[in-house]
Chain A
Amino acid sequence: QSVLTQPPSVSAAPGQKVTISCSGSSSNIGNNYVFWYQKLPGTAPKLLIYDNNKRPSGIPDRFSGSKSGTSATLGITGLQTGDEADYYCGTWDGSLSAGVFGGGTKLTVL
């Protein structure tokens, strides 16, 4: 049981838009920055979004992040087959004094 809650899976057609939600509490998302990672099989996680809505250099603007209260959302527009991956949200939990991840969301591009 993950501290942060994500939907197990989402799907959409190529070219479409998808959003992935991440729900937490005041001890984590509510008072800390949210990060989003893309995980492909056999590779290390890749940072997509940091500090709720900032993109590292090299991450296309098709990827966006937002946060409201104790929830965060990752948006991906112009879906490509190469976007098929597992996506994880993460943040710090002040009550646990620990980093926490969501359970991950598998994105299928139909």
Chain B
Amino acid sequence: QVQLVQSGAEVKKPGASVKVSCKASGYTFTNYGINWVRQAPGQGLEWMGWISGYNGNTNYAQNLQGRVTMTTDTSTSTAFMELRSLRSDDTAMYYCARANVYTPGGYWGQGTLVTVSS
């Protein structure tokens, strides 16, 4: 069965970086992209970006350009999302989701809570 398992919760100081992993299993990793979505406390879902599992091509949300990098390691079927220059408003639950073309589909990770606090 398809599973996406994310890395554990992180606490970071403002200005630091965080790297969240998303290990996929149960399907051919290179056949699908991975979306990253976040939800800040009390806020709605925010699309962060998409990465191809085939060739690593990416699309990032405009408001995160320059601070976010998404990568994959096809040898371990793992996707990564790195966010730099963290601010307090980056505090959120971060999710990876297998893409239905470019949009999040039916398989999601369990979420990784990233807390940014001094």
B59 part of interface (Cβ distance < 8 Å): yes
Range, interface on chain B: 20 to 34
Q: A88-B45, A104-B44 are in contact. Are A97 and B59 (CB under 8 A)?
A: yes
User: Is B100 touching A37 in the complex (CB atoms < 8 A)?
Assistant: no
Q: Which residues of B contact A32 (CB under 8 A)?
A: 103
Range, interface on chain A: 20 to 34
- Most B C-beta atoms less than 10 A away, residue of A33, A46, A47, A88: A47
User: Is B59 touching A98 in the complex (CB atoms < 8 A)?
Assistant: yes
Main secondary structure of the interface of B (DSSP, over half): strand
User: Is A50 touching B108 in the complex (CB atoms < 8 A)?
Assistant: no
Main secondary structure of the interface of A (DSSP, over half): strand
Q: Once bound together, how far apart are the Cα atoms of A37 and B97, in whole Å?
A: 12
B residues near A (Cβ < 8 Å) are 35, 37, 39, 44-47, 49-50, 59-62, 95, 97, 100-106, 108-111
9 A/B residue pairs, CB under 8 Å, sorted by A: A35-B105, A44-B109, A45-B104, A46-B108, A50-B100, A86-B44, A88-B44, A99-B47, A103-B44
